[in-house]
């Protein structure tokens, strides 16, 4: 089947006078991981809650597995897995019992024991939900979302607050789901997660798409030169000294210094000669460039450039 797993066109979602989603368009393929990336309040959860059929759109068109998420909710329920940001499991329910119950609603579920083991929950199988740690509760919610072998799964910040081991187990499961042909849509604040997992990244800001593409397309495989210093750097003079042009940006770092970033329009322009021009300019200007390095651009850099904001903790 070549229809998109999710198709969102010009979606608008309002809460009273707040317009949370302001004409958002994207689609998500089957057998692929689509990451919705953006700062707090960008409209990610509102968007996926409309796709899940939990909220009605105020404008635009949404199709999930070719169906309407509200009108066709009953037909979609067995085909779509949902892991909400929190909740979803009664506080007194024991982990394994609840997962077995969820499995019993499906024709061809994954063996709950295997799923508990895969997500590191075997030792707490008999523990009531309220006694599980936050990370364990999250993993149980993830298990519930996928136990019915859905064709499409929505994961809202699946690794928020998880320790590295649990995060890795979650990443492995997401990769396995994709390998099995499942469409995975996840929201995250972590660009490393999106870079690692996503086939397609949709950067959302102020309720609309700020950019989209594969992680490589978004970063353009570009490099940049960074250094920090206590000295005053005249950015215009440094730019004038660059052999084939370039831009100098700066930001304050947590330790009270300034970090400078030198980027080029043409990715090939950043060659050894370019680096030598920067260090030569620093030498002639009395600037000690600390932590000087050439690094690949990340999704966070792209986001910062697009919106002027950090991805996390707005």
Ligand X SMILES: Nc1ncnc2c1ncn2[C@@H]1O[C@H](COP(=O)(O)OP(=O)(O)OP(=O)(O)O)[C@@H](O)[C@H]1O
Positions that interact with ligand X (CB under 6 A): 15, 18, 20, 38, 40-46
Q: Which residues pair with 152 in a beta bridge?
A: 80, 183
Q: Which residues pair with 67 in a beta bridge?
A: 64
Q: Rounded CA gap, 163 and 160, in Å?
A: 9
C-alpha atoms less than 13 angstroms from C-alpha of 252 in its C-beta half-sphere:
3
Task: Count other Cβ atoms within 10 Å, centred on residue 10.
Answer: 15
- Closest to ligand X by CB, 34 vs 264, is 34
- Residue indicated by tokens 């949370």: 20
Q: How far is the CB of 209 from ligand X (least distance, A)?
A: 13
- Closest to ligand X by CB, 191 vs 225, is 191
Q: How far is the CB of 234 from ligand X (least distance, A)?
A: 38
Is 259 in contact with 250 (CB distance < 8 Å)? yes
Q: How far is the CB of 4 from ligand X (least distance, A)?
A: 21
Is 219 in contact with 212 (CB distance < 8 Å)? no
- Closest to ligand X by CB, 156 vs 301, is 156
Q: Rounded CA gap, 9 and 253, in Å?
A: 39
Q: Rounded CA gap, 112 and 105, in Å?
A: 13
- Closest to ligand X by CB, 11 vs 270, is 11
Q: How far is the CB of 22 from ligand X (least distance, A)?
A: 10
- Residue indicated by tokens 């042009």: 245
Q: How far is the CB of 12 from ligand X (least distance, A)?
A: 12
Q: Rounded CA gap, 300 and 39, in Å?
A: 11
- Closest to ligand X by CB, 212 vs 224, is 212
Q: How far is the CB of 76 from ligand X (least distance, A)?
A: 21
- Residue indicated by tokens 């930001």: 251
User: Could you tell me the CA-to-CA distances from 44 to 38, 102, 253 in Å, in that order?
Assistant: 7, 26, 28
Q: How far is the CB of 210 from ligand X (least distance, A)?
A: 12
- Closest to ligand X by CB, 37 vs 115, is 37
Q: Could you tell me where the DSSP H helices lie in 26-163? A: 44-51, 73-76, 95-104, 112-118, 134-146
- Closest to ligand X by CB, 41 vs 249, is 41
Query: Coil, strand or helix: which one is 244?
Result: coil
Q: How far is the CB of 247 from ligand X (least distance, A)?
A: 29
- Closest to ligand X by CB, 42 vs 169, is 42
């Amino acid at each position: 089947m070549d229809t998109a797993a999710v198709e969102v066109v010009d979606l608008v979602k309002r809460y009273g006078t707040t317009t949370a989603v302001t004409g958002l368009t994207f689609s998500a393929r089957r057998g692929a991981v689509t990451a919705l990336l953006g700062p707090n309040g960008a409209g990610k959860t509102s968007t996926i809650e409309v796709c899940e059929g939990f909220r009605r759109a105020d404008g635009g068109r949404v199709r999930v597995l070719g169906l309407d998420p509200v009108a066709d909710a009953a037909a979609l329920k067995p085909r779509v897995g949902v892991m909400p940001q929190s909740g979803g499991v009664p506080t007194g329910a024991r982990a394994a019992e609840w997962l077995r119950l969820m499995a019993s609603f499906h024709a061809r579920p994954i063996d709950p024991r295997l799923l508990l083991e895969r997500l590191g929950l075997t030792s707490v199988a008999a523990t009531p939900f309220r006694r599980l740690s936050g990370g364990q509760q999250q993993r149980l919610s993830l298990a519930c979302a996928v136990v019915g072998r859905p064709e499409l799964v929505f994961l809202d910040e699946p690794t928020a607050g998880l320790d590295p081991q649990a995060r890795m187990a979650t990443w492995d499961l997401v990769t396995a789901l994709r390998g099995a042909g499942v469409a995975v849509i996840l929201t995250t604040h972590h660009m490393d997660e999106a870079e690692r997992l996503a086939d397609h990244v949709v950067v959302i800001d102020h309720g609309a798409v700020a950019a989209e593409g594969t992680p490589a397309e978004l970063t353009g495989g570009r490099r940049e030169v960074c250094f920090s210093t206590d000295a005053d750097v005249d950015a215009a003079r440094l730019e004038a000294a660059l052999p084939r042009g370039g831009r100098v940006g700066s930001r304050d770092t947590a330790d009270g210094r300034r970090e400078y970033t030198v980027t080029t329009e043409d990715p090939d322009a950043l060659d050894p000669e370019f680096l030598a021009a920067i260090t030569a300019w620093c030498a002639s200007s009395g600037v000690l460039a600390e932590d000087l390095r050439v690094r690949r651009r990340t999704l966070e850099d792209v986001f910062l450039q697009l919106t002027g904001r950090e991805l996390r903790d707005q």
